[in-house]
Structure 1
Amino acid sequence: MNRRLILQGVGSSLLLSFWPWRGVQAKNQKLLGYIRTNWSRDPYTYGSYSYIAKGARRSDIRALDRAIDNQVFFAGEAVFPKYNSTVHAAYQSGLRAANSILQGSSNRIAIIGAGMSGLASAQKLSQNDREVTVFEARDRIGGRVWTDNRLGMPLDLGASWIHGINGNPLVDLAEELDQQLIQTEEDYVIRGRDGRKIRERDAPRWLENVVSIQHTAGANKDRINQWAYLFLNDYDGPDVKFADGYAGIFEALKGNYKIKLKTVVKEIQRTQKVVTLGFEKIDNQSFDAVLVTVSLGVLKRGDIKFDPPLPENKQQAIDRLGMGTVDKVYLLFEEQFWDLSASWIATPENDLPPGQFNQWFNLYRYIEKPIITAFNGGLPALALSTLSDEDIVQRALQTICTAYSI
């Protein structure tokens, strides 16, 4: 199996659900709590990260990256020309956009989105004496980097790893803050019904597509332009997690700029002299330039109106590129009962449709807490997004308990 680690409220209509678990329990193991993500239904992302879909090319990313009349700029993991779908792509895209803005004379600059790209840009621009205001729809910064502590320890609900540490600028930021990074391994075990170990050669053929494609790109193999990834030159080296959560990295991006939370931008109107933002609840505001760092999913949904409309090649790029989904379900048990030493656990025999709850990450190995994380990606994740929390947790329990004869 070609193992790769993944790139990156209550009810299924919201992104996040958290409750102490009071439902049906496994016979011999007590579930204390859970966290469920639901990124495809998050109204500020509509997915986890981008991919190059069939019919799209890497040139579409370059079209999306291109500024409009030196007034409207774009940044984000979907916009960086060299590689995408990672936090370091978002970071480098933000710096790239800031450098482009600095080549002009714009002084008052608005940034839409307080994720990695937006904050990296804001810091760079403010360091160069630009007046910067960041508008963020959520009640927090970070975007798809989100660390949650409600199960008693920091758990990353979106991005979880720095992928490839050799030369990766995120490692420099983490070291600047003295953040502890934990190297994770690729080793895995495949468990069938009643806890038996399945040899790799005996695993169902569809399992590799699930763990290597759906959980990496957030989409099915038949939806991806695989040729566009043939000559990808990204950072190498091991992957690492943040011991205290990914969101701590934003301490390194503080600066002399303003952040307006819970402020939804609905329209970007451009004239020869200014760019005016229309908001959901406050009066319009005008700036010399605007940097758009919202997710590709938001651009695809058309939640922000552009007046005049986006250039045809940019809109076509948005339409052709894909937005993938990878969701997690964290389960906190009273004690650990799964494989102690394996980083990854595959569970193909759970009597569920292929792609549902077939891969788990063993957090116990790294933090010595009885937490295990299920991953679902692509079409299976979208199918699960409509289910209730109770249904989701029951499927997770059914799978992990079947694999260990609980």
Structure 2
Amino acid sequence: MEKRVHRPTAWHVTHWSSDPFSLGAYSALLPGGTPQHRTALGQVLHERLVIAGEACNAGAPAMTHGAWNDGLRAAEAALSAGARKVIVIGAGCAGLAAAQRLRAEGIDCTVLEARGRTGGRTHTVELGGVKADEGAAWLQHFAENPLAAVALQHGLACIETDFSCPLAAASDGDLPDVDAAWIALTKRLDRRLTLAEAINRYMVTLEPAHARATQFAIDANLVLEACLPVERLSVSALDEEGVGYGDRMLPGGYSELVDLLAKRLDIRLNTPVMRIDWSSTGVKVNDEVCDFCICTVPVGVLKALHFTPALPETQQQALAHLGMGKLEKVILQFDGRWWPYSRSGYLRWYDQPASWGEWLDLTDAVGKPTIAGLIAADAIERQFSGRTDEQIAMAATEALQAWAAAIRPTP
């Protein structure tokens, strides 16, 4: 019997890694990097310039509420400095938070945004008449997330995702106890070494079955979370867990929340910033002068900005230990849901080498057979290089079919 090949009726493929205004998905700690480097990057400079965003938030890095909270921190720095005119660079969550706080205090605040839209690395696209997020998709750490409070206050639908209970399968046989392998790895790694050295030393001590389970754990719990290969990650990346309990997604899309956050703000779209001159008592951003500048661009873009004078050694060292994780997403839509149903809506696929390792079934949330897959680090090059978006979408569909076959094998 010929195997049926499913073909999506619509698809969307992200390219955050090549987007000139992001150059990646979110920040990650490079070898030698620590949470203290995040804090150092956000130190206020001469009461007139501060870098802010998820990369500076050691408590919630790589998360939208981490960016939001750090934007509020930056706004308080501007208020403490007595600033009356502030320029905020970037209309993502950090920039919007800073601008909202300053506006509430009557401060003259302008937001300069390079893109033709607000939201930064949050953006909702329409696919077949439904909404789906190509960037951030969850309100994480929901109970203590200030953005979650805004969403609830305005009656936005929020659907819980249980990340602890994925419907999972492996490409090469029975699914091992990946969680146990991950716990053992984190307990036994020699943290005095680089992460890559520590993992290599640990792996050679394992029996083949345990090594297989451990590799799956590394691919899913480390590389897919931090979004860089282990050779480019700090040991401290092991402690920066992004998934929380009770995380919820917005079936109407993140952009409906961003639209609320951007209301009544002075935002200038299509205005990229290239130069920041903070050499005198004021700050000159491109050709505009202000008392205080809050720069919220992603780490990848920050490294390309021209500062006069150059950033102090503390910030330069912090930047040298921070990079941008590579994470992409494919959103696929079909005439019907042909893949096995997961009560949590969360799916995991353990492949060697790693490919589309994580999936979220959006069908019940959006009312149409739609599913989103995530891919990270080196796997992106393997799956994206030389392919059109259609070819990438079809390759992702093949991976989903392989997962479905492993979950429910054909007799």
TM range (shorter): 0.7 to 0.9
Give TM-score scaled by structure 1 length: 0.84
Change (3 A) 1:77 1:191: same
8 Å CA contact 2:30–2:322 kept in 1: the answer is yes
User: Among 345, 348, 352, which residue is 2:347 paired with?
Assistant: 345
1:132 aligns with 2:102: no
Q: For 1:337 and 1:234, how far apart are their aligned partners in 2?
A: 30
Q: Does the 8 Å CA contact 2:356/2:375 hold for their aligned counterparts? A: yes
Q: Given the alignment, which residue of 131, 140, 147 partners 1:154?
A: 131
Partner of 1:214: 223
Q: Does 1:361 align with 2:337?
A: no
Aligned pair partner of 2:71 in 91, 94, 109: 94
2:401 maps to 401
SS at match of 1:306: strand
Query: 1:337-390 deviations in whole A, cap 9, x for unaligned?
Result: 1011352333345xxx61212332222244442112221012212444433223
What SS class does the counterpart of residue 142 from structure 2 fall into? coil
Counterparts of 1:252-291 in structure 2 under 5 Å? 252-254=260-262, 256-278=264-286, 284-291=287-294
Question: Is the Cα–Cα contact under 8 Å of residues 340 and 364 in structure 1 kept in the other structure?
Answer: no
Tell me, yes or no, if the aligned pair for 1:58 and 1:228 is still in contact at 8 Å: no
Match of 1:22 in 2: none
Alignment partners' CA distance in 1, 2:349 and 2:258: 36
Specify the alignment match of 1:377 in structure 2: 376
The 2-side partners of 1:104 and 1:110 are apart by 14
| Alpha-carbon spacing, 1:233–1:363, altered in 2? closer, same or farther (3 Å) | closer
Query: 1:255 and 1:50 mapped to 2: Cα distance?
Result: 27
| In 2, Cα distance between equivalents of 1:397 and 1:269 | 49
Report 1:290-309 matches (<5 A).
Answer: 290-300=293-303, 302=304, 304-309=305-310
Mean CA deviation greater in 389-398 or 125-134: 389-398
Provide the rounded CA distance (Å) in 1 between the counterparts of 2:5 and 2:307.
Answer: 57
Residue 175 (structure 2) aligned to one of 199, 202, 212: 199
Q: Is the CA contact 2:33–2:236 (under 8 Å) kept in the aligned structure 1?
A: no
Number of residue-to-residue matches in the alignment: 368
1:386 maps to: 385
Compare 139-148 and 361-370 and name the one that shifted more.
361-370
Structure having the larger proportion of residues in helix: 2
Match of 1:314 in 2: 315
Gaps of 5+ in 2: 178-208
Partners of 2:156 and 2:176 lie apart in 1 by 36
What aligned pairs does 1:6-25 form with structure 2 within 5 A after superposition? none
Distance in 1 between the 2:350 and 2:37 partners? 36
SS at match of 1:40: coil
Deviation of residue 229 (structure 1)?
5.3
Deviation at 1:55, TM superposition (A): 1.1
Say which is worse superposed, 210-219 or 151-160, in terms of deviation. 210-219
Measure, in 2, the Cα distance between the counterparts of 1:403 and 1:28.
13
Structure 2 Cα separation of the partners of residues 82 and 190 of structure 1: 29
User: Following the alignment from structure 1 to structure 2, what is the Cα–Cα distance between the partners of residues 104 and 309?
Assistant: 21
Structure 1 residues without counterparts, runs of 5 or longer:
1-25, 279-283
Distance 1:344 1:198, change over 3 A: farther
The residue identity in structure 2 corresponding to 1:305 is H
In the alignment, which of 82, 107, 115 is matched to residue 59 of structure 2? 82
Indicate how the Cα distance of structure 1 residues 244 and 275 shifts in structure 2: closer, same or farther if over 3 A, else same: same
2:81 corresponding residue in structure 1: 104
Indicate the residue corresponding to 1:188 in structure 2.
166
Q: Distance in 2 between matches of 1:44 and 1:113?
A: 10
Give me the whole-angstrom Cα distance separating, in 2, the residues matched to 1:330 and 1:255.
Answer: 29
Tell me if structure 1 keeps the 8 A contact 2:224–2:357. no
RMSD: 2.4
* Deviation, structure 1 residue 273: 2.6
Q: Counterparts in 2 of 1:17-36, with a 5 A limit?
A: 27=4, 29-36=6-13
> Per-residue displacement from partner, 1:84-111 (whole Å, max 9, x unpaired)?
1111100000001001100122111111
Q: Which residue type is aligned with residue 219 of structure 2?
A: V
| TM-score of the aligned structures, taking structure 2 as reference length | 0.83
Contact 2:54 2:67 in 1 (8 A): yes
Residues 270-313 of structure 1: CA deviation (Å, up to 9, x unaligned):
232321122xxxxx11111111000011123x1x1001111112
